[in-house]
């Protein structure tokens, strides 16, 4: 068949029943005998190329060949290989961090166990199987977790359908459980709880320092220094999250040159989530806690560039910070379980309640959109009322009482 000059060749997609232009296809990961590589979709599928227009349909032999090739690819690709292809796409085409990749793996491993229990393969999952998976998830996890895992599996199938390993996405148009995005925002420390926590951490540092000064050389002095080291690090990490709004990963990723001196004081400059550079002021309780910690940290030799290390000079893991926050919450008898994110949310809540400038809060928290800031902050009704009354024009004059009431009574 002779094709008109200048018209790009197209391939017929049997799954969607329409033609796709080869000049619009992106580079995609495919399986190769010696491992994974990136190629064009035409090379990956090896489907026959036909010249088509709005009225032309490929012969039935081409459709049968396309379906046969897709079935072969589905049978040859294992679940583990498909997951690696999906993760590879994420790594090469997106700016997702290693935490995102790890979350994808965990969610897909959970889905893989469901397939093994049901005796299903990637290409044999239908709508009813997807609904059974959703029903099982709903009995095991919270609505937020259910939505995250189903969204991950949905993206997984969308990717597999794009490279023609599966014919359809069984998770499309699947109804997910609703949840309130602000359901956790009320879990913040009160002013009294925050004051008790800071006083407790400062007392721990003072007590450890007193023991170190009175300890003799030997094992006793070594134990006293270890107590001061741990107490100082715990107070510094706590205050950076509660009074500077840093994420736990950002605190543990701070480098030695993160402290920047400016005419108006000290700042922390670091690379946060999404590889974005952020600068926050080092003020309040975070300032003395940080410099007390640096005074202790210099006595521990370490090749690590991070500010926060262990006694052996290794990096501190997030789980250790989470355990320390939980213990502090138990000691001050906080209303809610104390986590690193509760401290960050407490910072955002206090800052928004005192300033009312949500754009400034967004900048300090490092949020990409204002909607994220609205979710992670919580302002009580009393605070909103005080803010409105403080900014209302002529609030004092009108606060004396209603003006219409005497006239209404006189008319009556």
pLDDT tens sequence for the chain (412 residues) = 444 444 334 343 433 333 333 333 344 444 444 444 444 444 444 433 333 333 344 445 544 454 445 454 555 678 899 999 898 887 776 556 777 888 899 999 999 999 999 999 888 899 999 999 999 998 888 888 898 999 999 999 999 998 888 888 999 888 877 766 555 556 889 999 999 999 999 999 999 999 999 888 889 999 999 999 999 999 999 999 999 989 999 999 999 888 888 887 888 888 877 778 888 888 888 889 999 999 999 898 877 889 999 998 899 999 999 999 999 999 999 998 999 999 998 888 888 877 777 888 888 888 877 777 777 655 554 555 555 555 544 444 444 444 444 444 444 4
- The CATH number of residue 202's host domain is 1.10.443.10
Closest CA to 190 of 44, 382, 405, 40: 382
DSSP 240-274: HHHHS---HHHHHT-BGGGEEEETTEEEEEEE-GG
Residue 408 located in a structural domain: no
Could you tell me the residue range of the domain that residue 40 belongs to? 10-76
pLDDT, one tens digit per residue, over 131-150 is: 999 999 988 888 888 989 99
Same domain, 210 and 62: no
Catalytic residue flag (residue 110):
no
The residue out of 49, 76, 103 marking a domain boundary is: 76
Residues 18 and 152 in one domain: no
Residue that finishes a domain, picked among 60, 76, 92: 76
- pLDDT for the residue 105: 92
Q: Which has the closest alpha carbon to 275: 120, 105, 95?
A: 95
Tell whether 171 is covered by a domain: no
Instruction: Clarify whether 409 is annotated catalytic.
Output: no
- Given the residues 273, 287, 326, 331, select the one marked as catalytic: 273
Claim to verify: residue 279 and residue 311 sit in the same structural domain: yes
pLDDT for the residue 376: 60
- Are residues 257 and 385 located together in one domain of the fold? yes
* 3-class secondary structure, 167: coil
If one counts the domains in the chain, the total is 3
Q: Is 186 a catalytic residue?
A: no
Domain membership of residue 404 (yes or no) is no
Q: Are residues 67 and 112 in the same domain?
A: no
The DSSP letter of residue 275 is G
Query: Is residue 17 in a domain?
Result: yes
CA distance 349 to 336: 15
CATH classification at residue 106: 1.10.150
Exactly one of 149, 344, 345, 378 is catalytic; name it: 344
The active-site residue, picked from 247, 278, 345, 378, is 247
341 is catalytic: yes
User: 84 and 60 in one domain?
Assistant: no
Q: pTM for the complete prediction?
A: 0.65
Q: 266-308: per-residue pLDDT in tens? A: 888 888 777 788 888 888 888 899 999 999 998 988 778 899 9
- Residue among 73, 157, 376, 378 flagged as catalytic: 376
């Amino acid at each position: 068949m002779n094709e008109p000059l200048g018209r790009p060749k197209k391939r017929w997609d049997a799954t969607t029943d329409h033609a796709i232009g080869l000049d619009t296809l992106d580079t995609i990961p495919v399986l190769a005998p010696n491992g994974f590589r990136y190629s064009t979709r035409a090379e990956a599928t090896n489907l026959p190329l036909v010249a088509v227009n709005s009225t032309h349909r490929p012969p039935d032999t081409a459709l049968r060949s396309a379906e046969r090739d897709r079935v072969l690819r589905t049978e040859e690709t294992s679940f583990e290989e498909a997951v690696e292809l999906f993760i590879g796409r994420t790594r090469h085409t997106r700016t997702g961090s290693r935490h995102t990749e790890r979350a994808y793996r965990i969610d897909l491993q959970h889905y893989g166990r469901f397939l093994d229990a049901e005796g299903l393969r990637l290409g044999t999952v239908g709508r009813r199987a997807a609904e059974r998976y959703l029903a099982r998830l709903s009995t095991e996890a919270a609505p937020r977790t259910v939505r995250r895992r189903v969204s991950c599996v949905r993206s997984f199938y969308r990717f597999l359908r794009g490279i023609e390993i599966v014919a359809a996405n069984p998770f499309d148009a699947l109804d997910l459980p609703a949840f309130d995005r602000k359901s956790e925002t009320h879990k913040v420390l009160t002013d009294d709880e925050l004051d008790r926590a800071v006083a407790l951490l400062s007392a721990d540092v003072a007590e450890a320092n007193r023991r170190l000064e009175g300890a003799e050389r030997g094992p006793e002095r070594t134990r006293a220094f270890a107590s001061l080291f741990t107490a100082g690090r715990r107070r510094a990490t706590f205050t950076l999250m509660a009074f500077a709004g840093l994420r736990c990963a950002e605190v543990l990723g701070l480098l030695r040159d993160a402290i920047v001196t400016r005419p108006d004081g000290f700042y922390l400059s670091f690379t946060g989530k999404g590889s974005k550079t952020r600068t926050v002021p080092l003020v309040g309780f975070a300032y003395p806690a940080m410099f007390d910690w640096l005074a202790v940290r210099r006595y521990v030799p370490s090749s690590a560039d991070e500010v926060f290390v262990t006694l052996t000079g290794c990096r501190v893991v997030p789980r250790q910070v989470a355990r320390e926050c939980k213990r502090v919450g138990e000691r001050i008898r906080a209303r809610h379980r104390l986590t690193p994110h509760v401290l960050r949310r407490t910072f955002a809540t206090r800052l928004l309640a005192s300033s009312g400038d949500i754009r400034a809060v967004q900048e300090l928290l490092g949020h990409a959109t204002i909607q994220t800031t609205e979710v992670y902050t919580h302002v009580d009704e009393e605070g909103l009322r005080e803010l409105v009354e403080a900014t209302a024009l002529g609030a004092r004059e009108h606060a004396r009482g209603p003006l219409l009431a005497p006239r209404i009574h006189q008319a009556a």
